Chains A and B, each alone.
Chain A
């Protein structure tokens, strides 16, 4: 059964899909800029405020209000464009995209249409096997976000079946950069992986520019995936001689993993339809995270008429060449290059480096190393214990109440033998609880390692007395049994004993 209903679409086995079809995809990624104020007014952009508290006549679209372009947003857009190797348009107008929707205050979106700020770039993305795939960038343009509709009642939280809807306009007018790829051809069976790797690379790039917090889970980076299939070329036909198939646009793909899964699913779904002789409907589809499928949205045709025309309330954006060059000078080292350099400097394996990057810890480790820690120690703390804490609390690593300088101090206390790893975890807990620097926590909590022979010797004597059988084994030459006695001493001293010295004292007495 092949059906066009929302659920239960047929899918074709992935191996069969890539044997018979050539996938072509394109991604539209929206990045919310982390400017202090909105795209066209002075309202705050802070995430999570009470609904409709960050609004004014401009972003509410009140009669008479007028937009003014946020210069910082333009600067961010240009820097993103430059980092993607784009040309920056020397003169470009905003345009109005007209359509009615309750969460869009003016019932038009101020966007850029045929004069985007940046055009014709590329992003080289690294795949898991270490190879690089070049994704061509069509354009990056500036626009404003819409408000957010909340549908109340009804089972799904979607508008269908809801009793009523509420709109929060805090998000209306937040600056967005939309980055659009050219159709990506030739990725073949690696298409889902390339899609994911592109979004990952774009996220890292934008993050390195410091212009957005690029959090997909908070919606500050959102992805729409276009996909079509065409038959594999036969004989000596060139693949690009085969016309492109009808595409679908899958919306709401809001995690890196989902990008890969959604593209893969659409490939399998479209292939099943094509195999069955059914047409692909040009439409918007919605990604369903739970079921791992896409469902049909509204039909979309090239004839969708937004009646674009140049925004008469704004003057053209005309960045002068000197300014653009000055901004080019502010671009950081490209993330991939930087990663390779740091990995080599630090002597990490590929796997170690990837974990670090995925945890978003590269900058933190770098700062920790700069504060004097050994790279391996810095990595161990950030991608180990601290990543665990951040994950448990649902925050970013950078939001934890510990600085790279403090982590370096902690590492130095361990390296000098003042504390061991077990104690270091307690110290870290104290630091995160706001008890001060690692040194202060060690002192306040009395967590220093005891290496004083008097106190240790007494504890060792007590341990020998209490574990006579084990002591005898050691005397008989079973040195390995010393561990049990050391453990007993450590237990008595609540982990604060210098384990190496305890071992020496045990062996001195029994051998």
Chain B
């Protein structure tokens, strides 16, 4: 039943509820798809076939017993490998954690399991979520299903590619500076970064604690809302989680409405530096919203210019501290320093960190250590925090004029694997439009805007809303998605090239 893997989660939920398909059949279909195509795509680091089938069987039994189940019960999902899963290896894409099996579930994993979703496995990512291409994974890159020679975005390239290659209808991503939205944009899928604090971070291996946020990677706006609703909400284990109900995102996605909505085009997030095909798809999307009754205004966020610089001080600073725990003392890789007969603990720590971390991770640890050093703190970390405040004020001012903001998600379509690997600054610029939302803690969504004329690759459009108003993303996103799909005659992903069964077998990390 190949069509099973092409349905949205919302449709699959109905088919499961009606008994037309069982959770086991659905899970097996996705495991078969993974076996078929993941050798080429390499979206997964670990596939938990046995666990997934057991979970699916349990859902089928409970449904047969007449138990009231969550609408998504039995729907398969892939989880980014930065999220802890009890009993399933979790590496965050790093050699330093190869083979580590967490003894506990992240809160969001707990919530997925409680709702009966079936975890297929763990998806590939840039090491510790540092990157925009998945090329910084210690276990090899993920390939873009639209063109296997191109990057699927990052850091959550695995989750976006899994969804875009129909290996999973849903996936969990995490977004520190765009790691959900940018991969969604370049793979023609939907990705949402919720309001900071809207989804528990307990069990997310921290990159930058004040920026990280988990969210949905899906093929439709409604699916994103359904998943957002499952994982969102207050968690007493995360002090920074917001103690308020999840915004009514599912209702917003089902209703959809743009009439009378003020849509703000951010002047600083367009124009120079944006690929022509990206700009024309973006302009079209804005035009569609106008035609549907939205009021479009131009807003200015003058301090966004400094967002990238501030981000690359705050992120490395927090990361340098968050990654200190990987020291070979309690878990993960342990490397003995060569040529030392009775090494000290400090020598083992140093040798392990040298061997276990990749270049990009080391680069950011060094940056962050420097930025936090006595004598430099005020000039770097302190200044960056001030910029952060200014950016939050820019957002506040913009949201006085507009209900949602709109911009292209990324300046370009997917670039070729290897193209920017040796040019960190060019790589960092990919996140220019997504980073401000993380700095201010506001929610953002990327959804497909079409294909760029010059290269035929997907373009993403980004919606931004005020903190705790995540429902606005879905209300506007659902309308835009529907108007665009009418124009395309179906979902954008239907136009993606058919993947041929891989010649190589899926390459998982073996523990």
Residues of A within 8 A of B240 (CB): 312-315
Given contacts A63-B205, A64-B84, A315-B240, contact A307 B325 (CB under 8 A): no
- Distance of A313 Cα from B320 Cα, bound (Å): 14
B100: A residues at CB distance < 8 A: 63
Q: Which residues of chain B come closer than 8 Å to A60, judged between CB atoms? A: 330
Q: Complex formed: what's the CA distance from A65 to B83 in Å?
A: 11
Q: Does A398 contact B (CB under 8 A)?
A: no
B325 contacts A105, C-beta separation under 8 Å? yes
- Which chain A residues numbered 159 to 174 have a C-beta less than 8 Å away from chain B? 165, 167
In Å, the complex CA distance between A313 and B202 comes to 10
> CA A243 – CA B377 in complex, angstroms?
29
- A472 CB to nearest B CB, Å: 86
Asked if B204 CB lies within 8 Å of chain A CBs, one says yes
The smallest C-beta distance from A160 to any residue of chain B, in angstroms, reads 10
At the interface, yes or no: A69 with Cβ under 8 Å from chain B?
Answer: yes
Fill in one digit per residue for B283-321: 1 if any A CB lies within 8 Å of its CB, else 0. 000000000000000000000000000000000011011
CA distance A67 to B201 in the complex (A): 11
- Partner among B84, B90, B92, B321 whose Cβ is within 8 Å of the Cβ of A307: B321
Pair A96/B321 contact, Cβ less than 8 Å: yes
Q: How far is the CB of B396 from chain A (nearest CB, A)?
A: 20
With A167-B329, A309-B321, A312-B210 known as contacts, the answer to whether A64 contacts B236 (CB < 8 A) is: no
Which of these, A66, A69, A105, A315, contacts B237 with CB under 8 Å? A66
Q: Is A98 an interface residue (CB 8 A)?
A: yes
**Residues of A close to B92: CB separation below 8 A:** 63
Beta-carbon contacts under 8 Å, B197-213 to A: 201-206, 208-210
Whether, in the assembled complex, A100 has its beta carbon less than 8 Å from a beta carbon of chain B, the answer is yes
Given known contacts A100-B349, A107-B327, is B102 in contact with A63 (CB within 8 Å)? yes
Which of A66, A106, A305, A314: most chain B Cβ within 10 A? A66
Contact yes or no, B345 A102, CB < 8 A = yes
Q: Does B239 belong to the interface (CB within 8 Å)? A: yes
Name the one of A63, A100, A102 contacting B90, with C-beta atoms under 8 angstroms: A63
Interface status of A62 (Cβ within 8 A of chain B): yes
Known A57-B104, A64-B202, A64-B204: A309·B381 in contact at CB below 8 Å: yes
Contact, CB under 8 Å: A102 / B84: no
CB of A341 to closest CB in B, whole Å: 43
Q: Could you tell me if B325 and A63 are in contact, using CB atoms closer than 8 angstroms?
A: yes
A133: interface (CB < 8 Å): no
Do A62 and B331 have beta carbons less than 8 Å apart?
yes
- Asked whether, in the complex, the Cβ of B203 is within 8 Å of the Cβ of A307, the reply is no
Which residues, 445 to 496 on B, are CB-close (under 8 Å) to A?
A: none
Q: Convert A94-105 into 0s and 1s, putting 1 for each residue whose CB lies closer than 8 angstroms to a CB of B.
A: 001010101001
Segment 73-110 of A: residues with Cβ below 8 Å from B? 96, 98, 100, 102, 105-108
Verify B330–A309 contact, CB threshold 8 A.
Answer: no
> What is the distance, in angstroms, from A336's C-beta to the closest C-beta of chain B?
39
Segment at the interface with A among B64-72, B140-148, B271-279, B367-375:
B367-375
In the complex, chain A residues 99-146 whose Cβ is within 8 Å of any chain B Cβ:
100, 102, 105-108
Q: Which chain B residues lie closer than 8 Å to A96 at the CB level?
A: 321
Closest B residue to A302 using CB positions: B374
The A-contacting residues of B in range 341-373, CB under 8 angstroms, are 345-346, 349, 369, 372-373
With A62-B102, A64-B204, A102-B345 already in contact, the answer to whether A313 and B239 are too (CB < 8 A) is: yes
* Residue among B201, B210, B320 making CB contact with A66, cutoff 8 Å: B201
Docked-complex contact B373 and A307, CB < 8 angstroms: yes
Given the known inter-chain contacts A66-B239, A98-B324, please indicate yes or no for A61 contacting B84, CB distance below 8 A. no
**Alpha-carbon separation in the docked complex, A217 to B146 (Å):** 68
Query: For the complex, is A303 an interface residue (Cβ under 8 Å from B)?
Result: yes
28 residue pairs of the A-B complex, CB under 8 angstroms, read A61-B325, A61-B330, A63-B84, A63-B100, A63-B102, A63-B326, A64-B102, A64-B104, A64-B204, A64-B205, A66-B201, A66-B238, A66-B239, A96-B321, A98-B320, A98-B372, A102-B345, A105-B325, A107-B327, A108-B324, A307-B377, A308-B372, A309-B321, A312-B240, A313-B209, A313-B240, A314-B239, A315-B239
Name 12 extra pairs, CB < 8 A, besides A57-B103, A63-B102, A64-B202: A62-B102, A63-B84, A63-B100, A64-B83, A65-B202, A68-B238, A96-B321, A100-B349, A106-B325, A108-B321, A307-B369, A315-B240
Interface residues in chain B, defined as those with a beta carbon under 8 Å from any beta carbon in chain A: 83-84, 90, 92, 97, 100, 102-104, 106, 201-206, 208-210, 236-240, 317-318, 320-321, 324-327, 329-331, 345-346, 349, 369, 372-374, 377, 381
A residues sitting closer than 8 Å to B (CB atoms) are 57, 60-69, 96, 98, 100, 102, 105-108, 165, 167, 303, 305, 307-309, 312-315
Which 10 A-B pairs have CB atoms at the shortest separation, nearest pair first? A107-B324, A312-B209, A307-B372, A312-B210, A64-B203, A63-B205, A64-B84, A102-B345, A305-B374, A61-B325
